[in-house]
Chains A and B, each alone.
Chain A
Amino acid sequence: MTDLAPAATETVAPAIPAPRGSAGSAWLKWLARRIGLAILTLWLCSVLVFFATAALGDPVRAILGKDYASSPERAAALAAALHLDQPVIVRYFAWLGGLLTGNLGTSIANGLPVGELVGPRIVNSAVLVLSAAIVMIPLAFGIAMISAHYRGDRPDDVIQVVMITLAGLPEFVVGILLVALFSTTVFHVLPAVTIAGGGAPPWSNPASMILPVATLVIAVTPYVSRIVRSSLLEVLDSDYVELARLKGVPERVVMRKHALLNAIVPGIQVIALQLAWLAGGVVIVEYLFFYPGIGALLVDSVRNSDFPMVQVLAMVIAAVYVGVNLIADILSILFTPRARTAISS
């Protein structure tokens, strides 16, 4: 269940106004503009995160739950501790200042500094997402190449039906079915949960990583392979591929040298979007497998109404999205000679 974003390349196109000057300075100008845009987006994200969590509901009531009505003095103390007497704008800028200077606040749930709690979780989630990406990228390109090679024939049809079916499934459905199949109900070959004893990182037991990674791979592969397939088909229909074929270049070489290389740029964009999506997709997958990453921490923090924690985690996920898109745009420009020339001419 991910987002297919055909408009991804849109961000590249309007950013190429072909400014005057030497090639190097034009390139720097484009880069500065693009980074400025990313910073602006992040700032607006911080506004949204803060007001969605702090201004819409009643934090004190959410934190105290049933105790809210019975102990008004605790409610008053908590309101004072959260500086709720100050106007919301003042609280926002105090929070933003803390965020920028590395003072992330303290967790309401256990009184520990948010920064210390979040750090190792980010590493764990990054390992999970990157492992999924390392498996997913060659798999998706391979499936797309087979599918494009047999376009309209039986293998292509079968692949497409399987991919459409998988694309519709929510991650938790995939994950739970995998658990039932491989760890509990049918076979007992893989661990169903990630339990790392004594604070050891989850990948110290690689077998326990298999099912979470597989779930993420199954969630994302259909989208990537679909985009790559259609860009492959576009290239295979082009004149220069026809010429290569007429010259007698074998179909395998056409696919590898001509089609695949040209499908890389749209591939980068869709992979970036999916990687960014994975940063959010881990929420459900980590919760399902008890994987100690930011996603599972986020669910616990939401349940405990642990505002400082939720705000920081949301900013981390948004920053991953903005950062990954920034890198993808830069890579796309570097890999597209036409766009490079447009910038520097």
Chain B
Amino acid sequence: MSVVSLANLRRIGSQPRLATGLVITLLIALVAIFGPLFAPYGENEIVGRPYTREGSWLGTDYLGHDVWSRVLYGGLAILIIAVLATALGMALGIIIGVVAAYWGGWLDEAIMRLNDVALAFPQILLVLLVLTAVDQPAWWMIVLLVGASHAPRVARLARGVALGLVSRDYVAAAEALGESRLRVILAEVLPNMSAPLLAEAGLRLTYSIGLVAGIGFLGFATNPSAADWGVMIYENRLALLVQPWAMLAPVIIIGVFTIGTNLMADGIARLTGRGD
């Protein structure tokens, strides 16, 4: 099911939450992508004394950078890392879940048992565990860690959805025709899973943004000098009394972003009849 067909555009319009979520998400994504073009100052340009109202309308941060310019520069890294991590987590989770459901038996049992182990760790903990042994995390490490921490959660859902499909007649028919297992999965099972998985992807994107920004908020920066919404909160955490905007601006934009993606996920779930 392609979401961006004309008939679907009308259905999206009839779902106010989905429409609102989409608009908010697109707006923030545009700010993240094209923001640097409109920034009044450079990413690391000192425009005044720290924590003052100098610079443009949001004042300066802990080093005297312009807060508004850093907000405009600081979204791209989070956006890219969150989207890639979501894609990786969905892909891994779907593969694990579908394989478990389709092969069944001991393989299913073993995979789901290992899955339960991974579920016993909150996602942030899995990320922190590996960061313990890493001196300076690279951006692709965050993608791998956040993506891997999504996988068991996606796998559980994908397995449940696939279990309802593998016993259907058309799957049995394809098998009777002598199709290979891989082909049956690709041609018969996966296309029929797309609706619930799309809603899950929206939810995972929300969590990815929160996690990636959260890692920055805890002070684990992939590129210490670059502007980054999560890291900005960490850098300016002492500013709340003197120059609150240095901290509140990135907090608010992250909050609006996740509200948008979550509304979008909820809207997709309603549209496809999974949500209540």
Contacts and interface: CB of A to CB of B under 8 A. Distances in A.
Interface in A251-282: 277, 279-281
A52 B130 CA distance: 6
A298 to B, nearest CB: 6
B122 A279 contact: yes
A322 interface: yes
Interface stretch (B7-15, B32-40, B54-62, B241-249): B241-249
Contact of B206 (A168, A179, A299): A168
A72 interface: no
A306 B133 CA distance: 9
Nearest to A321: B120
Contact of A314 (B129, B157, B241, B244): B129
Interface string A311-327: 00010011001100000
A172 B248 contact: no
B131 interface: yes
B239 to A, nearest CB: 10
Interface stretch (B44-52, B170-178, B184-192, B254-262): B254-262
Given A48-B118, A284-B218, A314-B121, A168 B248 contact: no
Interface in A166-222: 167-173, 176-177, 179-180, 184-185, 192
A301 B132 contact: yes
Contacts of A226: 276
B88 interface: no
Contact of B122 (A49, A233, A301, A317): A317
Interface string A52-63: 111011110110
A229 B275 CA distance: 12
Q: What DSSP secondary structure best describes chain B's contact surface? A: helix
Contacts of A229: 276
B135 A173 contact: no
Contacts of A44: 113-114, 117
B117 A303 contact: no
A170 B213 contact: yes
A74 to B, nearest CB: 15
A163 B132 CA distance: 35
Given A5-B153, A305-B133, 19 more contacts: A41-B120, A48-B118, A57-B132, A62-B135, A161-B17, A164-B262, A169-B259, A170-B214, A170-B255, A171-B214, A176-B240, A180-B244, A277-B122, A283-B125, A284-B217, A310-B128, A314-B121, A321-B120, A321-B121
